[in-house]
Amino acid sequence: MTFLIVDDIDNMRRSIRAMLKLINFGKRFYEATNGREAWTMLADNGLKPDFIICDYKMPHMSGTELLHRIRSRPDLRQIPFLMITAEANMEVVAEAAEHDVDAYLTKPFVTVTLEQKIKELLERMVNPSPQVIHLQRARELEEKGDIDNAIRETTAAISANNNASRPYRELGRLHVKKGDLKKALDFFVQATTINRLDVVSYHYLGQIHHRLGNTGAAIKNFSLAMEISPRHYDRALKFAGLLFKQDKKKEAEKILRLILRNHESNADIMEEVAETCLKHGLVALAARTFREVMRHDPERSYLLRKLGIALHMADEDQEAVRVMEKAIDKFGEDIELMLTLARSYMRIGMMIRADKWANRVTRMDPDNSEAHEILRRC
Evaluate whether 232 touches 225 at the Cβ level (below 8 Å).
yes
Lowest mean pLDDT among 35-39, 107-111, 286-290, 324-328: 107-111
Mean pLDDT of the chain: 90
- Cut 0.85: pTM above it: no
φ, ψ of residue 53 in degrees (nearest 5):
-115, 120
- When pLDDT is cut at 50, 70 and 90, the band that residue 177 belongs to is very high
pLDDT in tens, 243-275: 898 898 998 998 899 889 878 878 888 999 999
| 132 HSE (CA, 13 A, CB side) | 9
Coil, helix or strand for 183? helix
Mean pLDDT within 130-154: 94
Domain 2-126: which CATH class?
A: alpha beta
- When pLDDT is cut at 50, 70 and 90, the band that residue 228 belongs to is confident
Mean pLDDT within 171-189: 95
Exposure letters 187-202 (e unless 16+ CB within 10 A, then b): bbebbbebbebbbbbb
The whole-number pLDDT of residue 90 equals 59
CA separation for the pair 158, 84 (Å, rounded): 30
Q: Tally DSSP H helices, then E strands, for the chain.
A: 20, 5
CA separation for the pair 120, 129 (Å, rounded): 13
Mean pLDDT within 63-73: 88
Q: DSSP string of 273-332?
A: HHHHHHHTT-HHHHHHHHHHHHHH-TT-GGGHHHHHHHHHHTT-HHHHHHHHHHHHHHH-
Sheet with strand 81-85: strands edge to edge: 28-32, 2-6, 51-55, 81-85, 103-106
Q: Comparing C-alpha atoms, which of 72, 23, 80 is closest to residue 51?
A: 80
Neighbours of 365 (CB within 10 A): 14
Strands (E), 280-353: none
The whole-number pLDDT of residue 105 equals 87
The whole-number pLDDT of residue 190 equals 95
Mean pLDDT within 48-62: 89
- When pLDDT is cut at 50, 70 and 90, the band that residue 96 belongs to is low
- When pLDDT is cut at 50, 70 and 90, the band that residue 183 belongs to is very high
